[in-house]
Amino acid sequence: MEFKTLSHISIDELLSVFNHSFSDYIVPFHLTKEVLLLKLDSEKLDLNISVGAFENDQLVSFILQAEKEEEGRKIIYNGGTGIVPEFRGKGLVRKMYDFIIPQLKERNAEVLLLEVIQGNEGAIRAYENLGFSIVRKFLCFHGNINSVKENNEVSIQELEDFQWEKFRSFWDIEPSWQGKNSILENIKKDVLKLGAFKDEILVGYIIYHPVSKKVYQIAVDQKYRNQGIGTKLFKAIKDINQKQPISFNNVDEASENTTKFLEKTIGLNNWVSQFEMKRDI
């Protein structure tokens, strides 16, 4: 067994092993090449700091990783760990981390971050044995947007750019990795930015990816909540995507009002939940 970075790997080979690894996962899924490329780009996954296990030069396991500096600390995010079924139970996750961590230290990385599906007890135990601790629980939503009564005093307008300082003032919680500002800046040409205006004042916004049909962020000014503003933003998305189902992943469970709003008002289903786990290097 040989361990090395994925800097030399082809997208086609990575796609094949990725789909094989997740074919019998607790939540099975299958990516197209286009979706894998979008994932790599949108999450800033870097094959130069990602690691793989190779048997006879064939990739059998991988950890896809991204790097980001936040509050003065360099964070390494695990955007996906996969092991093909035939090679499980061999401690490959630990061995891959043992291989890559010295290289990450050379890059002055300080923190490892990942997400794992609630209920995947084997993976949770494995990460805990590697020193990771659960820090947050995320809820993932999917479904069709309800037809709801609109607030006609609110207008929805497309925004030319992110207004991060204003957006952040609306937040109750910090987004997960996929929804962080720096990540969204990387795909700003591909996402739709809608603002809700009342009396010409920006009082809410939503960021939506029309191709993946994924909401990345939504927030409403605390002074204007419970006035149908979030509802109207979702109504605009419903009109744009021709009533097709959407997803909104990694909503912090601590935001009870958001969870209730998404389920009861918008009509989305919390179909799976994840734990955010972290450890110092």
Residue 169 in contact with residue 221, Cβ under 8 Å? yes
Which pTM value belongs to this model? 0.90
Domain boundaries, the chain: 2-109, 141-275
Structure tokens belonging to residue 161: 């750019």
**Number of other residues whose CB lies within 10 A of the CB of residue 263:** 15
Q: Where do the H-state alpha helices sit in 107-203?
A: 121-129, 164-169, 181-186
Tell me if domain 2-109 and domain 141-275 are identical in fold. yes
Residue 79 in contact with residue 246, Cβ under 8 Å? no
**Number of other residues whose CB lies within 10 A of the CB of residue 2:** 10
**Number of other residues whose CB lies within 10 A of the CB of residue 85:** 11
CA dihedral of 73, 76, 79, 82, whole degrees rounded to 10: -150
- Of 276, 264, 277, nearest to 141 by C-alpha is 264
Structure tokens belonging to residue 257: 């009002």
Structure tokens belonging to residue 234: 């979702």
What is the CATH topology of the domain spanning 141-275? Aminopeptidase (3.40.630)
Q: What is the pLDDT of residue 152?
A: 86
Residue 100 CB contacts under 8 Å (≥ 6 apart), including other chains: 3, 5, 49, 51, 63, 65
Q: What is the pLDDT of residue 76?
A: 97
Residue with tokens 């964070």: 75
Q: What is the pLDDT of residue 240?
A: 92
Q: What is the pLDDT of residue 24?
A: 85
Residue with tokens 């286009």: 34
* Secondary structure, 3-state, 137-182: EEEEEEECCCCCCCCCCEEEEECCCCCHHHHHHCCCCCCCHHHCHH
Helix (H, G, I), strand (E, B) or coil at 278: strand
Average pLDDT for runs of 10 along the chain of length 281? 97 96 82 91 93 97 94 93 94 97 97 95 93 97 90 93 97 92 90 96 97 95 95 95 92 94 96 96 93
What is the CATH topology of the domain spanning 2-109? Aminopeptidase (3.40.630)
